[in-house]
Amino acid sequence: TLGYCPQENALWSNLTMKEHLEIFAAIKGIRKDDATMAINRISQALELRGHLKKTKQTLAAGLTRKLCFALSTLGNPTLMLLDEPTTGLDPKGKRQVWRAIHTMLQEKEEGVILTTHHMEEAEVLCDRVAIMVSGQLRCLGSIQYLKSKFGKNYLLQIKVKGVEQGDLVNTQILKIFPQAARQERISTLLAYKIPIEDALPLSRAFAMLEDAKQHFSLEEYSFSLNTLEQVFLELCKEHERDYFESAPTSEWREL
């Protein structure tokens, strides 16, 4: 069986949330008792119980989106097609949907094909990721593979105890990683992009960071490969370079 959550909410404006769930369960051939159990289960997981008697036209946008996702889960589908399932949801609502998807994927026979603009969502949910830029497939693979292949930098984030420490810590980081580029400074948080070759060997990098942590009494630090978001941005830059390099001179004149 197939479960489908379209990008646009395809619902009846005058039907209640519960009526939608019951109709979809009947269409999928689910027995009444089983349908009641399934509706109770997904309603609890998505915190919909207090809204089941509301019609679609009175629901907030987030609840409407949750309903559309809930409909796609009925009948324990072996494959789910989810098109931007968390669009319009607040962080709590997103996590509820993510947990529901994880619960369904505990069965090895079930699978999900998900489209999303949120790289964090892809990292949380997906085993394999395909990234498209301007309608072209640019890469396909596991998240770790994409990070190692296209992520050319490490990301260093440091939390200092006081704002006054920032300049001293920055000077020390540039001594440890001469090619480090500071990405942002927000109050007591410092972030750096560090070329992979500047961080090797990692044993040395971590030893020096630990020394800096003790010397400057840093609250904490994290040192990791680029996020999937940064990989996506790198691929976008590559696509732009490829386009401008291949664009005919006449197009440049028009620009």
Quick one: three-class SS letters along the chain? CEEEECCCCCCCCCCEHHHHHHHHHHHCCCCHHHHHHHHHHHHHHCCCHHHCCCEHHHCCHHHHHHHHHHHHHCCCCCEEEEECCCCCCCHHHHHHHHHHHHHHCCCCCCEEEEECCCHHHHHHHCCEEEEEECCEEEEEEEHHHHHHHHCCEEEEEEECCCHHHHHHHHHHHHHHCCCCEEEEEECCEEEEEEEHHHHCCHHHHHHHHHHHHHHHCCCEEEEEECCHHHHHHHHHHHHHHHHHHHCCHHHHHHC
Mean pLDDT value across residues 39-64: 96
User: Is this structure's pTM higher than 0.85?
Assistant: no
Say whether both 195 and 122 belong to one domain.
Answer: no
pLDDT at residue 159, rounded to an integer: 92
Position 241 in a domain: no
Same-domain check for residues 9 and 99? yes
Mark whether 9 and 109 lie in a shared domain: yes
User: What CATH number does residue 26 fall under?
Assistant: 3.40.50.300
Q: Do 159 and 122 share a structural domain?
A: no
Residue 241, C-beta contacts closer than 8 angstroms, at least 6 positions apart: none
CB 125 within 8 A of CB 98: yes
Digit-coded pLDDT (tens) for 31-48: 999 999 999 999 999 999
47 and 156 both lie in a single domain: no
pLDDT at residue 248, rounded to an integer: 59
Chain centre to alpha carbon of residue 124:
6
Which pLDDT score is estimated for 89? 96
Q: What is the domain extent for residue 169?
A: 152-225
Asked if pLDDT for residue 253 goes beyond 60, the answer is no
Q: What is the pLDDT of residue 152?
A: 77
With a cut of 50, say whether residue 252 has pLDDT above it: no
pLDDT one-digit tens code per residue, 206-239 = 999 999 999 888 999 999 877 788 788 777 777 6
> Crossing angle, helix 91-104 and helix 32-45, to 10 degrees?
140
Integer-rounded Cα radius of gyration of the chain: 24
List, in order, residues 6 or more apart from 107 with CB less than 8 Å away.
76
- State the CB neighbour count (10 A cutoff) for residue 73: 24
Kindly report, residue by residue over 137-192, the tens digit of the pLDDT.
888 999 888 887 777 788 899 999 888 888 889 999 999 999 998 887 788 889 89
Domain total of the chain: 2
Q: What is the pLDDT of residue 187?
A: 81
Domain membership of residue 58 (yes or no) is: yes
